[in-house]
Amino acid sequence: MANKNNPKTKHLHIVLGFLCLFLVHSATAQEIDSNDSLTDSIGFEAPKNVKDPKKAIYLSLIFPGAGQVYNEKVWKLPLLYSGVSTAIYFLNFNNRRYKEFIAALEIVREGTETNPFPNLNEDGIIRNVNYWRRNRDAMYMVFGAIYALGAVDAFVDAHLSGFDVSDDLTFKLEPSMEPMLANNSAIGLSLKIKF
């Protein structure tokens, strides 16, 4: 068993510590020049029109659909805007009905004018006020969900812009033998993907 106070062991620990720091520093300090071709650690060249996910989500949060335009997926705009406009339409509809029943409730409570909804008493008008308020509030959530979905779509689409979908992909199934513990080995099949 090695002595921890041994000078050789201390020097070895110091050298290993500096080596680890050097490797971590060199891995994080590498920068890719925008004029050079992008390559990963294996040497494959990345596609040239890789989109920045942060920029895509920021654009989409500032203005709905701007992230899709940045990602060059303009065909998604009609879907996004039809969802947004439908949510806005129903939000306005529910808000108008809510305000109508609020005004009717005030008229019924004051008793100075005739009830605009003669088939409803005060309790029926209160139920309608609550109903249309809940619907209006639900449409706020639907609008927010559609807005967020557009931003998430732009973010994911930008992430996947560098994904290789060329016809150059091949799958190969081969027998393989893997070493195991105690001089044993396992026989099986391996699936190799070449791109």
Q: Which of 140, 139, 155 is nearest to 61 (CA)?
A: 155
On whether residue 50 sits in a domain, the answer given is: yes
Say if residue 21's pLDDT is above 90: no
Task: Please give the residue range of the domain that contains residue 94.
Answer: 15-194
On whether residue 3 sits in a domain, the answer given is: no
Domain count of the fold of the chain = 1
Mean pLDDT check: name the lowest of 43-57, 62-76, 93-107. Answer: 43-57
Q: Which amino acid appears at position 119 of this protein?
A: N
Distance CA 33, CA 84 (A): 40
Mean pLDDT of 155-176: 80
Most confident among 21-35, 80-94, 150-164 (mean pLDDT)? 80-94
On whether residue 101 sits in a domain, the answer given is: yes
Distance CA 93, CA 139 (A): 10
On whether residue 9 sits in a domain, the answer given is: no
On whether residue 10 sits in a domain, the answer given is: no
Contact 132/115 with Cβ under 8 angstroms?
A: no
On whether residue 160 sits in a domain, the answer given is: yes
pLDDT at 10: 58
Mean pLDDT check: name the lowest of 60-74, 149-163, 166-180. Answer: 166-180
In terms of phi and psi (left: phi > 0; alpha: psi -120 to 50; beta: otherwise), the region of 173 is beta
Other Cβ atoms closer than 10 A to 101: 23
Distance CA 50, CA 61 (A): 20
